[in-house]
Structure 1
């Protein structure tokens, strides 16, 4: 029924963040016209968490080894925000985009769904 998902990151400097995702993170992309890049993401999964407050949506890049992933993007010019923290369900850090926005990264410590067969 569904063939993929489309994630949107709102940015105060979309052009710089697009260049960063293409050049530093190395995500393959297409140009939808006028430099409007759309990136192929790694396999994805979705979780639904309860809340008593406002509904919100979050986006994380997942990795198998957070130290190795952060070292690789740091060597390519990315700034890592803060130390790696352990949340029990995963190990977390953030990459700072050129716009100043933070892009969370986590190494799951729970079973994952992104590699389940169809």
Structure 2
């Protein structure tokens, strides 16, 4: 039985990005091998999208109210590399991590599978 999913995020500055997840996003964690934190994520879902050759993966953090969440995170010093935009399927803003990666923050306009978990 599958009990969960583990996301791997590669970083040029893992210490800074780990501190960001811990101190700014305030995700709880446990210590793993070599003391590395493994962060708990909110309920998740996966969408499978078509692509040409090869593929890539993206991490989208979901929220119920993007304007309020952007305001709260900006108050904690989060840098947004792109402002909120309406993509049709949701409202999206892009967070820049301390190491320079981007994470999407989005307010879905569609039903979410994560909300259906019991």
Q: TM-score, normalised by structure 1?
A: 0.94
Unaligned runs of 5+ in 2: none
**Residue matched to 2:63:** 63
Give the structure with the higher percent helix. Answer: 2
Q: Any idea what SS the aligned residue of 1:85 has?
A: strand
**In structure 2, C-alpha distance between the alignment counterparts of 1:104 and 1:36, rounded to whole Å:** 24
How big is the shift at 1:39? 0.3
In the TM superposition, residue 53 of structure 1 has moved relative to its aligned partner by 3.4
- The equivalent of 1:25 in structure 2 is 25
| 1:104 match | 104
Cα distance in structure 1, aligned partners of 2:33 and 2:55: 32
Alignment gaps of 5+ in structure 1: none
Q: What's the CA shift string for 1:9-53, capped at 9, x where partnerless?
A: 100000000001100000000111444110000000011111123
- Distance of 1:6 and 1:30 partners within structure 2: 13
**1:54 matched residue in structure 2:** 54
Q: How does 1:77-96 map to 2 (within 5 A)?
A: 77-96=77-96
Report runs of 4+ in structure 1 exceeding 3 Å deviation: none
Give the 3-state SS of the residue equivalent to 1:115 in structure 2. helix
Q: TM-score, normalised by structure 2?
A: 0.94
What is the aligned length? 118
In structure 2, C-alpha distance between the alignment counterparts of 1:105 and 1:53, rounded to whole Å: 27
